[in-house]
Amino acid sequence: MQATYQALLSYGYADLSMARIADELDKSKAATYYYYDSKDDLLVALLDYTIDRFERSIDTEFGDDPKADLDHLVEKLLPLREDEKPHRIFTVLVVLRAQAVSNDAFREQFTRLDEKIAATIRDIIQRGVDDGVFRDVDTTRVAEHVFATIAGTRYGRATTDRDVVAETRVSLAAYVDSELVRR
Amino acid sequence: MQATYQALLSYGYADLSMARIADELDKSKAATYYYYDSKDDLLVALLDYTIDRFERSIDTEFGDDPKADLDHLVEKLLPLREDEKPHRIFTVLVVLRAQAVSNDAFREQFTRLDEKIAATIRDIIQRGVDDGVFRDVDTTRVAEHVFATIAGTRYGRATTDRDVVAETRVSLAAYVDSELVRR
């Protein structure tokens, strides 16, 4: 999987080939890659693996305080500074997501990823409502708003020279505060 | 330009070629496409043309009422139903935007597009503040929040089977109302 990421970053989707992925590996491992019928089969498997790992990691990170959990999730999904490794993974995801416009197998994976993130935000908000620390809002509406703001900010950072993370982090905190926090 | 859009939708970026674009045209026009040195040169010119046209159309659409102008812009950028033609253009933009991850000429065009949209939202909000109908907010912060929410929602619709436009349209209206509208 690391070799596939590396080859994608070096060559881009259009110029990626099974041979170039194999080149990133030593020979004994390279043979295993020929189990996949095509470049797209391999890339969908890569996505499946990446999303599984994300799902497992995210479910273990929450505590008892819905407000703190929501702040933590926003920080995780929208870091002020991108560390090298997550930034590379996110960049690769932007490249692969463009395939989802016309390829159903890719589209299915990104639907699963986005649904998992939205459900995670929704569940935290619902916990806050149940605990009485959040107001009794439409959890889906607020969760989708928070998720869309995060997704749009990251997409802009990956594909332009604009970086508005500092602005949307402040505005999201204000949004959560005014929409959710009970006074 | 229509031929290039059509060829992009039929073949995707990876399998697009100058010959396939020329195939979409009658012969007399096809020759003109050979003025471009490469597929990417042609696609950057396509983006440049599309963004110019968008800039000209958007500046003529506003009136005297900042709140109505902001509502109009949100509706335009985030339509509840996608008509066939704008939907196709937006889908093509998602495919081309993935190139901006690694190609500076594409990145420059998308930086220009996003800056124009953000500046348009910012200017409307500033007009509302100056007129006294909006509260004296940080216009950049509110504008970037509105833009990121729109961008994230559209990106999700183009690349997944999820469609949360109805939810984020309601949440954006509530956001604008609580952040901006003076009581």
Task: With CB atoms and an 8 Å threshold, state whether A142 touches B94.
Answer: no
- ipTM of this complex > 0.90? yes
Residue range of the domain that includes A117? 63-180
- Greatest mean pLDDT among A11-15, A108-112, B13-17 lies in A108-112
Per-residue model confidence as pLDDT tens digits over A125-168: 999 999 999 999 999 999 999 999 999 999 999 999 999 999 99
Q: How far is B158 from chain A (nearest CA, A)?
A: 6
> Residue B86: what pLDDT?
66
| Least confident stretch, A86-90, A97-101, A104-108, B24-28 | B24-28
Residue A24 forms part of a structural domain = no
Closest CA to A134 of A122, A120, A149: A122
Instruction: Provide the CATH number for the domain around residue A166.
Output: 1.10.357.10
Q: How far is B140 from chain A (nearest CA, A)?
A: 8
Per-residue model confidence as pLDDT tens digits over A91-134: 889 999 999 988 999 999 999 999 999 999 999 999 999 999 99
Per-residue model confidence as pLDDT tens digits over B55-81: 888 888 888 999 999 999 999 999 988
Residue B121 forms part of a structural domain = yes
Closest CA to B59 of B51, B148, B97: B51
Using the Cα atoms of residue A98, residue A16, residue B11 and residue A105 in order, give the sign of their dihedral. negative
Task: With CB atoms and an 8 Å threshold, state whether B141 touches A111.
Answer: no
Residue A27 forms part of a structural domain = no
State the count of interchain CB pairs (< 8 A) between A and B. Answer: 145
Residue A2 forms part of a structural domain = no
Q: How far is A163 from chain B (nearest CA, A)?
A: 10
Give residue for tokens 């305080």: A65
Interatomic CA distance for residues A96 and B159, integer angstroms: 10
> Which of B95, B156, B167 has the CB atom closest to A101's CB atom?
B95
Task: With CB atoms and an 8 Å threshold, state whether B101 touches A115.
Answer: no
Residue A139 forms part of a structural domain = yes
Q: Which residues of B touch A152 (CB under 8 A)?
A: 147-153, 155
- Greatest mean pLDDT among A1-15, A58-72, A83-97, B161-175 lies in B161-175
Closest CA to B92 of B16, B152, B31, B169: B16
- Separation in Å, CA A49 to CA A55, A94, A182: 10, 16, 39
Task: With CB atoms and an 8 Å threshold, state whether A148 touches B164.
Answer: yes
Q: How far is B165 from chain A (nearest CA, A)?
A: 9
Residue B24 forms part of a structural domain = no
Give residue for tokens 């039929």: B10
Q: Which residues of B touch A153 (CB under 8 A)?
A: 144, 148, 152
Residue B46 forms part of a structural domain = no
pLDDT at A82 over 80: no
Best A13, A82, A171, A175 member to test B by mutation, with max B CBs in 10 Å, is: A171
Contact A109, A47 (CB under 8 A): yes
Q: Which residues of B touch A156 (CB under 8 A)?
A: 114, 148, 151
Task: Kindly report the length of chain A.
Answer: 183
Residue A118 forms part of a structural domain = yes
Q: How far is B60 from chain A (nearest CA, A)?
A: 25
pLDDT at A27 over 70: no
* Maximum alpha-carbon separation in chain B: 63
Report percent pLDDT > 70 for chain B. Answer: 93
Q: What's the structural domain count of chain A?
A: 1
pLDDT at B114 over 70: yes
